[in-house]
Structure formats: structure tokens, C-alpha cells
Amino acid sequence: MAGIPASYIKNRLITLVLTILIAATLIWIIPRLSPVDPAEIALGRMAAGAGSVADSDEILAQLRASMGIDQPLAIQYLRYIGNVLVFDFGISTASFPTPVSALIAQALPWTLGLMILSLLITFLIGNALGAFMAWDRTPKLARVAIPAAMVFTSIPPILSGLLLMWIFAAKLRWFPLTGSYGLTVEPGWDWAFISSVISHGTLPALSIVIVTFGFWALGMRGLMITVQGEDYVKLAEAKGLRPRYILYKYMIRNAILPQITAFALKIGLLVAGQVLVERIFAYNGMGKLLYDAILNQDFPVIQGVSFVIILLTALSVFIVDLIYPLIDPRIRHDTGAT
Amino acid sequence: MTDAPLTRDDKRAAKRAARFENPWRSPKLAWGAGLLLSVVALGILGRLFWDLEAVFTGANMLKIPPIGFENLRGQSGTFANPLGTDGAGRDMLALLIIGAPNTLFVGLMASLIGMSVGIVLGFTAGFVGGRTDDTIRVLSDVMITIPPLLILVVVQSVFGDVSLTLMALLIAGFVWQSPTRLIRAQVLSMREAGYVQMARLSGASTPHIMFKEMLPNLVPYLFGSFIASVTTSIVTAVGLEVLGLGPQRVPTLGRIIYEAINAGALIQNLWWWWGLPTLLLAVMFIGLLLVNLGLDEVSNPRLRKL
């Protein structure tokens, strides 16, 4: 890419690779610290299904071989890293012959769709409100009302989700309570399905939006106040430019830049929040997959979901970091951080 | 929201000026601290004046609403259970008295540990520089992008039941990065400041410069960072609890919500079951936010105007 020094890209790339490697390693090490033998769990599941299992020792050995846990640890680890790189997380133990990657492939589009939509809405609303909060020409009423709404900022989306669910789904019945589309609708590109998806997605998206827009608004307000004191704004005012023009072209444009970095740092928390929202709304995304896997002690799925979400987070941070110098040419690359 | 309606403008202006001079007197800080203390007070007073055995013995009628309300079976609230009972007949008030301080405890403990690690690493990175700095910087850059919830889900689904302290320790492993980064950046910019150069020239030892000269200047940032990591820790803890992980035998606010959702409390209109813990959590988070905003005004005078 033009304009970005190679050392900067190299630095970011190293961080990305390290993040993925550390996450994958942690996910691999943790289950191995536990005294529980996954082969015995699988055997227990079989026994529970069949009533009794003959030749259990032999089956255990076979299960261990098929899971690869009869190999030395180093080989297990290398094999695991190799598999993870091609998104092979093994086979789900709860829904047995289905590979974990197939389950994730089903859930991922829902999560991504919900996330991108709610992120875009909050980023726009939040930054617009924050800018107006700091602008001295905003009506007084709005300047008092916006901070009051800001109190919701601190609440995690799962709580707002519960509240919205209770009011709009359980009490008023305006929106469906759970799921990501109606049970009676066939998935497809027709209006019945799309409208069902929209009505099921509104509450989850809304519960994320109402608690996250304040974060952007607060940050934006602080940045706007800083920008207001800058000489170029004073000059623009002295030149007699229209206040609205100054607001958009001079102030917001400059103030929004650090918000994009904040965005990169916040992605991880936002994703975690959304996982929980999906869990309470039983939305067909990664959150529900994760929750079901926890209930069923389905370790391959738990590992796969965690890894994919961490990977997504790391990738988005990487992309934001790469785009940032293009948006703000003033940034110095040599420091690497922030 | 922050200003009480006063009749005289000049009185108001004087108050504002006083607040500008001494930002520690900001109403945001006072309100925030008040909200947090009310949660602590609930825990302390509750332990003194309320029978907490009701948490472990579901001896009451099931799903009784709070006083003044009626549930779907037409039962109304009783004084024996002023805030109602849950689906197992446990007293909600007793659950909250034990659960709310537990949740706060996890947040405070995790952040205290995380902060201490952050202070040590941040100072080391900023001061020592070179290889050490690179390692710490890359490590905190890497860890900051990993959502704590997802790693902890793996940990706890493997190990099953954990104690409150263990959960706090696990979360602490994910809240040291932001303080580290913040302190490192501040130390780097402070290292060249006049008074630090002066101290160095007059032969002060490195620990003296770190802790006597620089640390006091970092206090507002440290507080702000601490409050932010308390919030992150509580959010993570509640997240784990709502997924059915976390301590299984100790009541926590997240666990009450988990049980309520699983029992279909939303559809049965048992709002007090999930609503009261939600409300308490909201009080905590709003308290933390207000304290954080107040502290921001302490460290950044430009924000003191609202």
C-alpha cells in the first residue's frame, strides 16, 4: 500500500500472527490441564445412549486414537496448529458426525450480519450525538437530554436485552421472543423470510445499539472539545465560514480520527457482549452455538467458536490499524503503538 | 442531570467555579460513589438485619412477587419475602444481599491484581526500554485484542465449578493490558519532563524517581484506568455467569439471571426474578461510569464545563 512504511505493516502483521498463535495455544493448553479425559466423556455419552458398552477398554483406546490424544504432546500440538489454520476443529461430540467447522459456518453469517449492522448504527448515531453535544450551537435542550441518555453507556447489552425482550416481546408482543427467524418460514430470498429475519433481529440489534452509542458519543464529545480550541477552527471562524460548514469540514473530520482507534480496541468487548445477547435471544449465531456447546460439554465446538471469534477480532483490529494511516496522514508510523 | 435546579444564577456560577477549582468535588463523583456505596451498604446492612439462610433453603412459596404486586396465580407479595421469591422458593432479598457484593468483589479483586501487574509492567517498559519494552508492548498489544470472555469460557467449561476468588484471578489475567499501555505511554512522556531530569541529576535512585516523583502524577489516570477495568471485570464475570459458568454454589447476580432465563421467567412475567439483579447491576455500572467521568474531569481540565 502506498504511503505506509513496510515496517509498520510488518509490526502489525507480527502482532496479528502472535495474537492468533497465543489464542490458539491457550485454547489448546487449557483442556489439557484438566484431569478429565475426553475419551471417557465420549464413552460415557455412548454408554448413556446405549445402556451399556462392552469392551470399554478397547473402545477407549480407539477413541483416544481417533481423537489423536494417544500421541506425544508435541505432535498433538503441531497437528492441532496445522488443523486450526485450515479451520478444522474436529467433530462435534454433541451432534456427533457433524464437523465443528460446518456448525460454525452456519452460525457465523448471523453473527456477522447482526454485528456489522449494530456497529454501523451505533458508530454513526454515537459520533453524531457526541459532536452535537460539544458544538456550541446545539439547542440547550438537546445538550441536556443527550448526557441523560448517556447513563445507559455503562450497562452491558445483556441487561438492556433482557429489558427490551420483556417490554417488546413478552409484554407488548411487537417482536418475537427468540430465534433468528420464524419456525414456519423456509430460509430463502423471499419477502416472508427477510421480514421474519428483520423482526427477529430488531431487538438484539437495538439492545446493542442503545448501550453502545454512548461510548462513542462520550469519546466524540471529549475530542470535539479539544478540536474546538485548535487554531484552524479559530481561523475558519475568523474567515466567516458558516458554522455548519466548520462543524462538518473542520471539526468532525478531525475529531473522528482517534475514535477509529478506539473502535479497534473496543471490538473485543463488543463481540463478547454480542455473544451474550445472542444467548438470551436464542439467536442462531455463534453465541447460541457456544452456549449449547457449554451445556453439552462439547469441547471441540467451544474451542472452535472461541478461536473463530478471537480470529475475527484480531483481523478487524489489524484492518483498522492498516486503514488508519490512510485516513490520517499525520500519524507517525515509527512508534507502532496507538 | 447533574445540576440541582437553583433559583439564583450567581449562586450557581459560584458553585461551578468552586467545582472547576477542585474537580474532586464534582457531583458526578459524589453520585457515582454514592451508588457504589449503596450496593456495599445493601451487603453490610443485609447481613446484619436479614435472615440469609433463605438463600440456601427454598422454604418459601415459589415465584411470589414483591410486596404490592400480584403474580399470574393471583398471589400477592408478603412481608416474609419483601422482594418476592425465585423459582426455587428462595428469598430474592437474601439472594441479592449475598449476590451483589459477590459480583462487586470479583470486579474489585480482579482489577486490583490487574492494576498492580499493569503498574509494574508499564513502569518497567517505559523505564527500561529496549528489548524488555518491545516484549511487554507486543504482549499487551496481543492480549488486548483477545476478548477475555472467550478464553475464560474455555477455562471454566473444562474445570467446571470455580470459587469467586479463582474467577477473579482468572479475569485478572485479562485486565492488565490497558493499564500497562496507559502507564507506559505516560511514563515515556514523563521521563523527559524537567522535574524527572532534575531528580535524576540530583542522584535520586530509579525506584525513588518511579514511585515518589512520577507515580503521584499518574494517580488520576490510575484511578480512571482502575474503574474502567472494574467495569470490564464485572461485565466479564456476569457474562460467564449468564452462560452458566462461574461459581455454581455461591449466588451471584449473573447466576440469578441465568437461572431466571432458563426457567422462562421472561415469558412467565416473573420480572422481579431477572429484573432485580439486572437493576442492581445497572446501579453498579452507572455508579462506575459516573465515577469514571468525574475522574476524567480531574485529569483533563478541558472537560470541566458541562
Share of chain B above pLDDT 90, in %: 7
* Interface test with chain B among A158, A175, A177, by most B beta carbons within 10 Å: A158
Beta-carbon count within 10 A of A100 CB: 27
Smallest Cβ–Cβ distance between A19 and the set B2, B146, B286 belongs to: B146
Q: Residue B229 has which C-alpha cell?
A: 477495568
Q: Which of B147, B157, B244 sits opposite A309 (nearest CB)?
A: B147
Tens digits of residue pLDDT in A127-137: 888 888 777 77
- Percentage helix, strand, coil for chain A under 3-state DSSP, each rounded to 5: 75, 0, 25
Model confidence band, residue B305 (pLDDT cutoffs 50, 70, 90): low
More confident residue, B142 or B72: B142
CB contact under 8 A, A291 and B243: yes
Q: Which residues of A touch B245 (CB under 8 A)?
A: 294
- What's the grid cell of residue A138? 446545539
A35 interface with B at CB cutoff 8 Å: no
B150:A22 CB<8 A: no
Distance CA B60, CA B53 (A): 12
Local structure of residue A71 (DSSP, 8 states): S
Q: Which residues of chain B neighbour A157 with C-beta distances below 8 Å?
A: none
Tell me the whole-structure pTM to 2 decimals: 0.82
Q: How far is B305 from chain A (nearest CA, A)?
A: 10
CA distance linking residue B234 with residue A282, whole number of Å: 23
C-alpha cell at B60: 418459601
* The length of chain B, given as a count of residues: 306
Q: How many Å apart are CA A45 and CA A55, to the nearest integer?
A: 15
A229-241 confidence digits (pLDDT tens): 788 888 888 888 8
Mean pLDDT of chain B: 82
Q: Could B145 and A229 be called an inter-chain contact, meaning their C-beta atoms sit closer than 8 Å?
A: no
Question: Which grid cell is B84?
Answer: 418476592
- Closest CA–CA distance from residue A42 to any residue of chain B (Å): 14
Q: Copy the grid coordinates of residue A210.
A: 442503545
User: A84 at the B interface (CB within 8 A)?
Assistant: no
Distance from CA of A240 to the nearest CA of B (A): 25
Rg (CA), chain A: 25
Q: Do A170 and B269 touch (CB under 8 A)?
A: yes
- CA–CA separation, B7 vs B27, rounded Å? 18
Instruction: Give the pLDDT of residue B117.
Output: 93
B276 to each of A64, A72, B66, B96, B255, how far by Cα in Å? 47, 51, 10, 8, 13
List chain B residues with CB under 8 Å of A210.
none
Which residue, among B228, B107, B116, has the nearest Cα to B171 in the 3D structure? B107
* Whether B245 contacts A294, CB under 8 Å: yes
Q: What phi and psi values does residue B301 have, to the nearest 5 degrees?
A: -60, -20
Q: In angstroms, rounded to a whole number, what is the distance separating the alpha carbons of residues B60 and B227?
A: 39
Contact indicator for B274, A196 with CB cutoff of 8 Å: no
- Binned at pLDDT 50, 70 and 90, residue B115 comes out as very high
Contact (CB, 8 A) for A255 and A248: no
Other beta carbons within 10 angstroms of residue B169's beta carbon come to 15
Residues of A in contact with B155 (CB under 8 A): 30
**Chain B nearest C-alpha distance from A190 (Å):** 30
Non-local (6+) Cβ contacts of B100 within 8 A are B39, B42, B43, B253, B277, B280, B284
- Which stretches does DSSP call E strand in chain A? none
How large is the average pLDDT for residues B130-157?
Answer: 85
DSSP tag of B64: P
H-run or E-run covering B157: helix B148-159
Contacts of B171 in chain A (CB under 8 A): none
Q: Between chains, do B242 and A280 touch, taking CB under 8 Å as contact?
A: yes
Pick the closest to residue A96 from A28, A31, A42, A40 (CA basis).
A42
- Across the interface, whether the CB atoms of A268 and B155 are under 8 A apart is answered no
Could you tell me if A23 lies within 8 Å of chain B, comparing CB atoms? yes
Q: Which three cell numbers stand for residue B13?
A: 456560577
pLDDT in 10s for each residue of chain A, 338 residues? 456 678 888 888 888 898 899 888 988 888 777 776 767 777 777 677 666 666 777 877 877 777 667 778 888 888 888 888 888 888 887 777 788 888 898 888 888 888 888 888 888 888 888 888 777 777 776 666 666 666 777 778 888 888 888 888 877 888 887 777 776 777 777 777 777 778 788 888 888 888 888 778 878 887 888 787 788 888 888 888 888 888 888 888 888 877 877 777 777 778 888 888 888 888 888 888 888 888 888 888 888 988 998 888 888 888 888 887 777 766 555 444 44
* Pairwise CA distance, residues B156 & B169, whole Å: 12
Beta-bridge partners for A229: none
